[in-house]
Structure formats: structure tokens, C-alpha cells
Chain A
Amino acid sequence: MVSLNQLIAVCLVYVAGLFLVAFLAERAAFRGRGGWLLRSPLVYTLSLSIYCTAWTFYGAVGYAARSGLEYVTIYLGPSLVMIGWWWVLRRLVRIGRAQRVTSVADLISARYGKSNLLAVMVTIMAVVGVTPYIALQLQSVTLSVSIFAATETASGQGGQINDNAAFWVAAGLAVFTLLFGTRNLNANERHHGVVIAVAVEAVVKLVALVAVGVFVVWGVAGGLSETVARIDASPISTWQTGGGRWTALIVLSAAALVCLPRMFQVMVVENDDERHLQIASWAFPLYLLAISLFVVPIAVVGLELMPEGANPDLYVLTVPLSQGQNGLAMLAFLGGFSSATSMVIVATLALSTMMSNHIVMPLWLKLNDAGATQSGDVRTVVIRARRLSIMLIITLGYLYYSASGGSGALAAIGLISFGGVAQFLPALLGGIFWRGATRTGAVAGLSIGFVVWMYTMLLPSFGPDAALSAAVFDHGPLGLGWLRPQALFGIAGLDPTVHAVWWSLSLNTLLFFVVSIFSFPTPLERLQGAQFVNVFDHSSGPAHGWSASQGRTEDLMIMSQRILGATEAKAFFKREAAQQGRMGVPPVPTQEFVQALERELAASVGAATANAMISQIIGGQAISVEDLMAVADESAQILEYSSKLETKSRQLAETANELGRTNEKLTQLSLQKDSFLSQISHELRTPMTSIRSFSEILRDMEGLSAAEKTRYASIIHSETIRLTRLLDDLLDLSVLENGQVSLNARQVNLHDVIEQSVTTAQASSARPIDIRRKPRNEDVTLHTDGDRLAQVFINIVANAIKYCDAAAPVLTIAVRRHDEDVIIGFTDNGTGIPVEGQNLIFEKFARLGNGDADGAGLGLAICREIITRLGGQISYVQHDQGGSFEVRLSRTGLAREAQRLLPA
């Protein structure tokens, strides 16, 4: 039999041991020793075990005894997150470290533009959500004490002892938290003492529960197979997998792992090394497995052994006691005690940080308008605020416990807490993964989620006619049936937990997304959003800019001293000055410096408060162009802009190039025009010179012979003909080039066209030429403008007559077919056109050879224009000796081609 005094003595020794461990750890950390243990993945993993509170220790067995295997969900949720989604946690940890986050409220507030409103909301919600949980721990301790008390004293005095136990436990925990939780102001610096104490307690509770389990299996049930048989026989082994409830519970517990302030505290704030998370991702689920291993055996054996009506939440204690195992019962009691205390300590620590940073400090700052620059140590204010918060929170827990009268099963209270903090999840996850999340959206989601949770989960938990009247339960407020707390919108018949989780989380998420989409973030929100979402790219990037030039170093120094303490502030300023390359003088308040200072302050008082304090001195923060560019840099949206910009600039460059080319072309065209005019001028002036000169001779000179007169007059005559022909050619070419020519396309026989051309060409020249043809080949019908084609042929034949330099000129006209084309070749036996001139002959005014005044050099240019209009090609083909002109015409495509080229 364990006396109550013995129990208290053991508790005191245990607590003293914890104090000692915590103290030693703090001292070692202060001296920079013991890092191998203090900053080890083992301690990190064990500290995560504060997830397993008294609820787990006592409640899981009770849960199993009442609801069978459903208790597994409470372990399944966190295990799934740790194993499957540890990258989400890693992101959280990375952000927490990069932003020097002090709590879950701080993280959410910092993400949404360092919003104090959000910080206050999350803090209040956390306090409201976690207070029942703290009460739950007190209740479990009192319950366990009552077991020992009941065996000793008359049953009538139990209540008195219970209340006293709860009070003393609360007081003891408050003292511990005050001592080790507020030693260091910088909340982001690790609380090594607390963490190591939590780790020790994790071992104690695991050992205790496993010990009870081993005793039950081998000591009571009589071995493993016996136990399994008993479990099989027990009604609780039936899997009541009500899908909805299981899913809801897994979601809740998974959310709780991330959102519970105490979990956030050990997982993110106290994290020393990101890699620890990787180890914890498998080690922590193992711990959960170990601690849940014996839950069912203890429950089954307890159900069999214990009398009807015994509280199954206490089987862990009562089963060993009933077997006379006082030592084991004491160990079990210590296990439960440690589960409760570690949870209360860390939860209080986390909540008090939130309260002092987000509620007390901003209020204090507001009440002291010049607060930041006033003399006096703000540290004392902060520490006092934190201590006050600790006391307040533990008191709240105690009051809740007293008020609720210790009613309700442990598991139910735990679930209510989970449901409350799970409301942070949308804003939290949305904030770190979605840039589009806005402050307004977060506020909206959190508000609706919290209200629905209160209405459907927290208030009904007090039972009918406690917080809500029975009438409200049955008929809804004001008789509005669709607002019944356990059947919102008329959806009745759901399990109350599923109902509450479903409505609170889905409305929360929905509102969060919808409002985010339809609201616009402030620049600071955008900036922070970018920092959070892109934490893996920019974990060391500047948070945002201060237009710090107005900031005076002395003011900043005074303020920093009061928050960081003189020594640390001086060290920080010295370090920053050294980094600026300024030894022995204060640092220049550059943007980087002020940002670093803000981060340093944020680690002590939270992002929103630090931001507010600095803006008091700097005089309002400025989002500089650089900051916005920083956002721009990161934002996918702006990436798109920049790619568009790139495209645009490429297009601009292309346009510029094109303009350059066009300009060049225009210049060339202008030169061509000049050259053309100059050519025309030359071609006109030349015959006019002769005409003028000879006409003056005829007019002025006396004594000219008749022969001279005739000769000069005929020169004038021939030159006027030359002029006329030049003008004709020019007009013809102009018409052809402008496309104003009207082709008279019809069925013509190629033979007829050649015949006519040869006749005409020969008639206009006195030079003899032998023209050879094969009329049979020429019998081709073409759909073309015969007159225009003849014009081309005449020109070519005339050229041959004119320029063929053979002694006996011969021109061969050969017609051949090539696929659908007809090729007419004109080959003379002269030396042909020199290679260097072949490129030029189809150009205007390209006259080769020595000055035969006849013709202005437009003939072949005209030929080319005509043939192009007729849909064919004309070219000069070089042979071994001489060469030939070839006209290629399409027999079938001609009409179409000609038609196409006709102006509309």
C-alpha cells in the first residue's frame, strides 16, 4: 500500500530531479558544453513526445476500453504526417529558423504582413483551445492521486484532496515554467533546460507504460498467446471502422501535430538542426508505436479484472494496484505525472510567449507612445509580461478544471483541443505553400473556423443546459433548426466530432481560399509571402526594406539594449559594425543593418511587435522599390512578366532590325531611284545633244553642201526616233512594273508567235542572219498573251541580229518540253555575253559592249517583266561557246498564273 505521503514525497523527489536536470542542462548550454546531448536528434525526437500527454498515458487505455481500436487514430495522424509529409514540417522548420519565429501565432502573423490582428486572434484561439487540455492534465493528475488517496482515506475526503492536488500541481508547474521558461528572453534561443526535462519525462512515461504493459501481458494474462486470446474474446477488438469518424480523427490528430502550440514549440522553435527532423520522421512514429503497443492488452485485462463502473481511464494505475504491485503502480503514477507536467510546461511556455509578444507588448507599446525610445529596460517588461502570462494560463487551466468539475472522459477533452487548434491549419499551410493567401483570407477563415468550433464542439462539450440550453441543442438558437449545434444546416445524424470537424475545417478552408482570391495583399504581405513560400530559395534573403536613412543609430541602440539587454545589444551592434567594416564606431543604419536588428528583436518579441517598435523609430516602414523588385524577382507572376518582357524586347530588337533593313532598303531604293533618274537623264540628253547641235549647225552655218545638209537632217531624224523609242520603253516598263498591264490571254499556237516574231525582227534590220527552227516541235498550244510573248521574242531575235559577232550569224530557235513546261531556247553562234555581264543584262539601262547608241538598255528588263507576268522565267544560259536565252513557260499553269498576276 502506498501512502499519500509517500506519493507526495516521490513526486517531490521526481520534480526536484527534473529541476536538477533542467538546471544542469541550462548551465551546460550556457557554458557551451554538452551540445552532443542537448542538440542531438535523440533529444529532439523525445521532446516531440510531448504529443503524448496524460491523455495518451491514461486516456488511450480508457479510449480503447470504451471505443475499441479507434484510439489508434490519435497515433496514426501524427505518424502519417511524420513519415509521409515530413517535407511539410521541414518547410515549417526552415521558415521558423529563417524568420526567427517564436510561436505558431508569430509565424502566421509574420506570413501575413506581420499582422498583429492575426497574432492576437491566433493567440486567443490557442489559449481558448489549449486551456481545456491543460485542465485535462490537471484532471489526470488529480484522478491518479485520488486512486492512491481512495485506498488510504475514507471516501468522503477524496474531493478535498483532489482539489488540493490539482492546485499544488498547477502551482508547481507554474514555478517550473517560470524558472526555466523565462530565463532567456530570446524565445527563439533554445530552452535547453525545458527540452531536456521533457526528454527525460518522455523516457519515464514510455518506461512506465511499457512496464505496466509487460506486467499485464506476462504477469496477469499469463503470456503473449493468452493475451491475444483474451483480446480476441473481448468486444473491443472488433474494428469499428466507422469511416467518417476515423478519417475525422486522423485529420484532427495530424493537424494537431503541426498546429498545437506546444508541438510547434518543440518541433520548430526548439529545433537546432533541420536534419534532426529527418531522423525524427521515423524515430517518432516508432516511439508512438512503442507507447501504444500495450494499450489494448491493458484495456482488455482491465475490463476483465476491474469491477463494473471503475474508470477505464485509470486502468494503468488500478490494474497494478489491484495485483498488489505498489512499486509498478508508483512508476505508472510517475509516468502519468510526467506526461501531464511536460505537456503543461511546454504548452504554457508556448502560450505565454504568444500572449506576451502579441497581446501584452503591443498594448504596452501603444500605451507608451514613445515606448521604444523611452529609457528603461523593456526586458523587464517583456519578462514580466511573460511570467504574468504563464501564471494566467495555468490559472485558466486550473479554473477550467474546477469549473468543469473534472467531468468528461479524457479523450473527449483532448479532441476538443485538437479541433480548436486544427483551425490554424488552412492559414498555416496556405501561408507556406500559396503566395496568393492573404491576411484578409486568413482572418476570415480563422474566424469562421473558430466560431463553428466553439459552437459545435467546445460549448456542447459542457453538456445540455451548461453553456448552451437544451432548447438550443434540440431546436437551434431562436428556434432556427438549421443552426442546431450538432446538426448544422440540417445535416443530422453525423457523429458530433465528425460533424464539428467537417463544418469548422471546411468552412474555414473555403472562406480562407475564397477571401484570399478576392482580396489584395499589401506589399509587406506579398514580400513575406514570397519569403515563406520560397523559403528554400531565399532563406537568407532580406525580409523587407526600411528606408533607414532617417533612423538614428543611437535610438536603435537604446531600444535594442532594452530588449536584448545591454551586453547582447552591444555585441550585436559591434558585430554589425565590424561587418560594415567600421571598427570602434557604431554601425551605419543601413537597410541590411535594420533588417538584421529587426530579426534579432523578432526573436525576442515576435515579428509584429519588432516591426512596430522599429517603425516607431524609423518613422514608418517603407517598402522600397528594391523590396518590390525582390518580390518581383521571386514571384512566378513576375517571372511571367519578365518572360513577356524578354519576348517584347526580342520583338523590339527584331522590329529594330527590320526597321534597319527597311531603312537600308529605302536608302538603296533611293539610290536606285537617283541612279535611275540619272540614267534616264543621260539617255534623254544624249540624243538631244546631237539634235540640238546639228539643228544649230543647219540653222547657223552657211555654205553647207547638200549632202551635208541631208546627212545632218537624217541624224536629227534618227535621234528623234531613238528618243521616241526610249520614251515608249520607259512607259512600257513602268506599266509592267506597276502591274497595271492588262494581259490579253487566249489560246495561241507557239509556232505562230515565233513565226511572227522572227519576221518582224528581221524586217527591222538590214543585217542578215540564218534562223534555224524545227516547226514540228513548235506546235504547242498555250493559253497566254500572244502579243506580249511576241514582244519578248522580237527583242531576243533583234538582239541576236544586232550583237551576234559571228562572220555568218546563225540563230537556232529550239522548243522542247520539260514536264508541264515549254522551254524556248534562242542560241546564236556568237561569242555570247561575257560572264561578268550576265547578271546585269536583265537590269534596266544595262548596256554591254561598246557604245552602240541604239537602245537604252531597257529591252531585256522589259522582257523579264513580261515573262514574269506571263508566269514564266527568262534566263541566259552559258555554254562552252557563247550562250542562249531561254524562255520557260508553263503550259497548264500559265492561265492560272497569269490570271493571278492580273490586277483585280
Chain B
Amino acid sequence: MTKHVVLVEDETNIAEAIRFLLSRDGWRVETLANGGSAAEVIRAAKPDLLILDVMLPGKTGFEIMAELRSDDTLAEMPVLMLTARGQARDREMALQAGVSRFMTKPFSNEEMLSTVRELTAGRVS
């Protein structure tokens, strides 16, 4: 069974880069460019990993997190949050929102891959 990651990212070029990286690492990448319907999709898909941008059209990453929190079936799902704003306040808010890891853009490919591996170690075969 292939590992399933949902990537919510409105910047098409960034989404393409991540998709390229993770696909090579054996992930099935499902990309969403709009925050509006993201929570619904995620709840239905129950992916092994969620990569979530903050600044999104429709809904922000934080709003999506708040929606997912109430869902117990997603309690085990690791979440990697990406942001381009890079302010300390965002990091705090992210951790409070129940995000597993927080990463500031731009990141190196190595950083991205190792973080994803760490987050999913032992969970996904």
C-alpha cells in the first residue's frame, strides 16, 4: 500500500516541486489548491500525512486545522505546516493548533524529505 499524502498548497510551482520530491520517495500525492474544501477531502481520505500551507484562498491553514481537530479519527495523522511569513507568532499558533511540525519557506529538499520521513517513521510501512 502506497503512502498517501494530501498537500494543500495554492502556489502551483511549489506544489509541483513537493509532488516531485515525495513521489520519488514513494508517496501518492494528492494536491489541493484551495482551502475551502480541504477539510472535507482530508476527512474523507484520511491520509497518512497532511502538508498544509497557511496562506490559502478559501480558508487558511489554521482554519482547516481547527476543523480537523474535532475529528478523532484523524488524531494520529501527522501534520506538516508550511508558511512563507516566517514569524515567531505563526510558529506558536501552529503548535497550539496541533500541528506536528512547522516549516518555513523556503526550505531545502533534504529538509523536506527528512521531516516527512521523521513524521511518518514507524507508522507507515
Bound Cα distance from A700 to B113, whole angstroms:
13
The distance from the CB of B114 to the nearest CB of chain A, in whole angstroms, is 13
Question: Which of B13, B16, B106 counts the most chain A CB atoms within 10 A?
Answer: B13
Q: Is the CB of B21 within 8 A of A697?
A: yes
Q: Is the CB of A682 within 8 A of B18?
A: no
Among residues of B, the one whose C-beta sits closest to the C-beta of A674 is B87
Bound Cα distance from A219 to B14, whole angstroms:
140
Q: Is the CB of A693 within 8 A of B17?
A: yes
Among residues of A, the one whose C-beta sits closest to the C-beta of B15 is A690
Q: Is the CB of A689 within 8 A of B12?
A: no
Q: Is the CB of A689 within 8 A of B87?
A: no
Contact of A700 among B33, B58, B86, B109 (CB under 8 A): B109
Bound Cα distance from A691 to B87, whole angstroms:
21
Contacts of A781 in B (CB 8 A): none
The distance from the CB of A431 to the nearest CB of chain B, in whole angstroms, is 75
Bound Cα distance from A681 to B109, whole angstroms:
20
Q: Is the CB of B10 within 8 A of A690?
A: no
Bound Cα distance from A690 to B11, whole angstroms:
9
Contacts of A697 in B (CB 8 A): 17, 20-21, 109
Contact of B105 among A686, A694, A849 (CB under 8 A): A686
Q: With contacts A849-B57, A850-B34 known, is A682 near B106, CB below 8 A?
A: no
Q: Quick one: which of B1-33 are within 8 Å of A by CB?
A: 10-14, 16-18, 20-21, 24, 33
Q: Is the CB of B10 within 8 A of A692?
A: no
The distance from the CB of A483 to the nearest CB of chain B, in whole angstroms, is 97
Contacts of A686 in B (CB 8 A): 11, 14, 84, 105
Contacts of A719 in B (CB 8 A): 13
Q: With contacts A678-B87, A850-B10, A851-B11 known, is A689 near B57, CB below 8 A?
A: no
Among residues of A, the one whose C-beta sits closest to the C-beta of B18 is A693
Contacts of B112 in A (CB 8 A): 693
Is the C-beta of B96 less than 8 angstroms from some C-beta in chain A? no
Contacts of B105 in A (CB 8 A): 685-686, 688-689
Q: Is the CB of B85 within 8 A of A678?
A: yes
Bound Cα distance from A219 to B120, whole angstroms:
147
Q: Quick one: which of A690-739 are within 8 Å of B by CB?
A: 690-694, 696-697, 700-701, 715, 719
Question: Which of A683, A690, A694, A715 counts the most chain B CB atoms within 10 A?
Answer: A690
The distance from the CB of A718 to the nearest CB of chain B, in whole angstroms, is 8
Contacts of B13 in A (CB 8 A): 687, 690, 694, 715, 719, 853
The distance from the CB of A54 to the nearest CB of chain B, in whole angstroms, is 106
Among residues of B, the one whose C-beta sits closest to the C-beta of A716 is B13
Q: Is the CB of B20 within 8 A of A853?
A: no
Bound Cα distance from A697 to B20, whole angstroms:
9
Bound Cα distance from A685 to B18, whole angstroms:
15
Q: Is the CB of A689 within 8 A of B107?
A: yes
Is the C-beta of B108 less than 8 angstroms from some C-beta in chain A? yes
The distance from the CB of B7 to the nearest CB of chain A, in whole angstroms, is 13
Contacts of A850 in B (CB 8 A): 10, 33-34, 57-58
Q: Is the CB of B109 within 8 A of A685?
A: no
Query: B54-80, CB under 8 A of A: which get 1 and which 0?
Result: 011110000000000000000000000
Bound Cα distance from A773 to B47, whole angstroms:
54
Bound Cα distance from A289 to B54, whole angstroms:
108
Q: Is the CB of A682 within 8 A of B85?
A: yes
Contact of B14 among A674, A682, A689, A849 (CB under 8 A): A689
The distance from the CB of B83 to the nearest CB of chain A, in whole angstroms, is 8
Bound Cα distance from A715 to B33, whole angstroms:
18
Contact of A851 among B20, B57, B86, B104 (CB under 8 A): B57
The distance from the CB of B15 to the nearest CB of chain A, in whole angstroms, is 9
Bound Cα distance from A693 to B11, whole angstroms:
13
Q: Is the CB of A685 within 8 A of B21?
A: no
Bound Cα distance from A683 to B10, whole angstroms:
13
Bound Cα distance from A700 to B20, whole angstroms:
13
Q: With contacts A700-B109, A850-B57, A851-B57 known, is A693 near B14, CB below 8 A?
A: yes
Bound Cα distance from A694 to B58, whole angstroms:
27
Contact of A685 among B12, B58, B106, B110 (CB under 8 A): B106
Contacts of B55 in A (CB 8 A): 682
Q: Is the CB of A681 within 8 A of B33?
A: no
Contacts of A685 in B (CB 8 A): 84-86, 104-106
Contacts of B10 in A (CB 8 A): 850-851
Contacts of A696 in B (CB 8 A): 108-110
Contacts of A682 in B (CB 8 A): 55, 84-85
Bound Cα distance from A689 to B18, whole angstroms:
10
Question: Which of B58, B86, B109 counts the most chain A CB atoms within 10 A?
Answer: B109
Among residues of B, the one whose C-beta sits closest to the C-beta of A688 is B106
Among residues of A, the one whose C-beta sits closest to the C-beta of B86 is A681
Among residues of A, the one whose C-beta sits closest to the C-beta of B87 is A678
Among residues of B, the one whose C-beta sits closest to the C-beta of A711 is B16
Among residues of B, the one whose C-beta sits closest to the C-beta of A685 is B84
Contacts of B21 in A (CB 8 A): 693, 697
The distance from the CB of B56 to the nearest CB of chain A, in whole angstroms, is 8
Q: Is the CB of A681 within 8 A of B85?
A: yes
Q: Is the CB of A692 within 8 A of B106?
A: yes
Bound Cα distance from A783 to B16, whole angstroms:
50
Contacts of B85 in A (CB 8 A): 678, 681-682, 685
Among residues of A, the one whose C-beta sits closest to the C-beta of B36 is A850
Q: With contacts A685-B86, A685-B106 known, is A690 near B34, CB below 8 A?
A: no
Bound Cα distance from A681 to B85, whole angstroms:
5
Bound Cα distance from A122 to B13, whole angstroms:
109
Q: Is the CB of B109 within 8 A of A689?
A: no
Contacts of A693 in B (CB 8 A): 14, 17-18, 21, 106-107, 109, 112
Query: B29-44, CB under 8 A of A: which get 1 and which 0?
Result: 0000110000000000
The distance from the CB of A532 to the nearest CB of chain B, in whole angstroms, is 72
Q: With contacts A681-B86, A850-B57, A851-B11 known, is A692 near B20, CB below 8 A?
A: no
Bound Cα distance from A697 to B87, whole angstroms:
27
A-B pairs with beta carbons under 8 Å apart, 28 shown: A678-B85, A681-B86, A683-B84, A685-B84, A685-B104, A688-B105, A689-B11, A689-B14, A689-B84, A689-B106, A690-B11, A690-B13, A690-B17, A692-B107, A693-B14, A693-B17, A693-B21, A693-B106, A694-B13, A696-B108, A697-B21, A700-B109, A715-B13, A719-B13, A851-B11, A851-B12, A851-B33, A851-B56
- List of 8 A-B pairs having minimum Cβ-Cβ separation, nearest first: A851-B10, A693-B17, A685-B84, A690-B13, A689-B106, A689-B105, A850-B57, A682-B84
* Other A-B pairs beyond A685-B85, A686-B84, A688-B105, 10, CB < 8 Å: A674-B87, A682-B55, A685-B106, A686-B11, A692-B108, A693-B21, A694-B13, A697-B21, A850-B33, A851-B10
